[in-house]
Amino acid sequence: MTLLREIKESVLHLLFPHVCTGCGSDLLSKDSALCMRCVEAMPETQFELHAGNPAEKTFWGRLPVAAASAQFYFTKESLMQHLMHQLKYKGNKELGIQLGRIMGEQLKNSGRFPVDALIPLPLFPAKERRRGYNQATVLCHGMAETMHVPVLNTVITRPQHTETQTKKGRIERWKNMEGKFVLTDKAAIENKHILLVDDVVTTGATLEACGNELLQAENVRLSIATLCIASS
């Protein structure tokens, strides 16, 4: 049976090669979307280890966060841009799960994020239907595997469509997001330390708007984690 299984797996690999999302190498494990060389090449920030890091400073004077972190630096024409594109626009949920596991492991090991639940930043429903999923939710499911906390993806909604933030400055982004989130289940997060998760932080306007709405619940501690940080 073992020989037959090996033959079957070899044939499947020839027909449907399992290769690294980052570089195309086939030297990776069956349950991985990235080879070890690409994992090691991703530019880690190590923000999770340090209070007052650049991700936290993004929210100073704007949003009371217990802690904040971004796992990797995002730059244009880089490995991280390629991986972000694969996650958001190419349906690569396997990649998102693996990246979420990496985030969760690092946050857990830092000791600075003793959270009770993960909350993915919601997408506008029509946008999520077109994409087929919310990339922040995919990251959360990977994080939950290593952090061992639940994912609460119905606590807050985004009923209003917003224009793309890509070419807007900080003030424009903040105005674009004002009042766009609705907290639908306060009881689910009362008296909890929650971690709001998204794929990237630039100016922090979207996370700020969502975080302020989450803080309408009683006795909530809010922390924030993103996959990447980009320059504004």
Could you give the CA distance from residue 48 to residue 225 in angstroms, rounded to a whole number?
9
Return the CA Rg of the chain.
19
**Model's pTM, two decimal places?**
0.88
Q: Where are the domains of the chain?
A: 1-41, 42-229
Question: At a CB cut-off of 8 Å and minimum separation 6, what does 18 contact?
Answer: 26, 28, 30
Helix (H) or strand (E) holding 157: strand 156-157
Question: At a CB cut-off of 8 Å and minimum separation 6, what does 76 contact?
Answer: none
pLDDT at 9: 45
pLDDT at 8: 45
Instruction: Please give the structure tokens belonging to residue 227.
Output: 């996959």
What are the respective helix, strand and coil percentages of the chain, to the nearest 5? 40, 15, 45
Q: What is the DSSP string of 22-84?
A: TT--S-S-TT-SS-HHHHHHS-B--GGG-TT-HHHHTTTTT---SEEEEEEE--TTSHHHHHH
Pairing of strands 156-157, 182-183: antiparallel
pLDDT at 180: 86
Q: How many CB atoms lie within 10 A of CB 89?
A: 10
Each of the 232 residues of the chain gets a pLDDT tens digit; together they read 565 554 444 443 444 468 999 999 888 888 899 999 999 999 999 999 999 999 999 999 999 999 999 999 999 999 999 999 999 999 999 999 999 999 999 999 999 999 999 999 999 999 999 999 999 999 999 999 999 999 999 999 998 766 555 555 555 655 666 668 999 999 999 999 999 999 999 999 999 999 999 999 999 999 999 999 998 6
pLDDT at 216: 97
pLDDT at 10: 45
Q: Which class in CATH covers the domain with range 42-229? A: alpha beta
DSSP letter assigned to residue 221: E
Helix (H) or strand (E) holding 194: strand 193-201
Pairing of strands 117-120, 156-157: unpaired
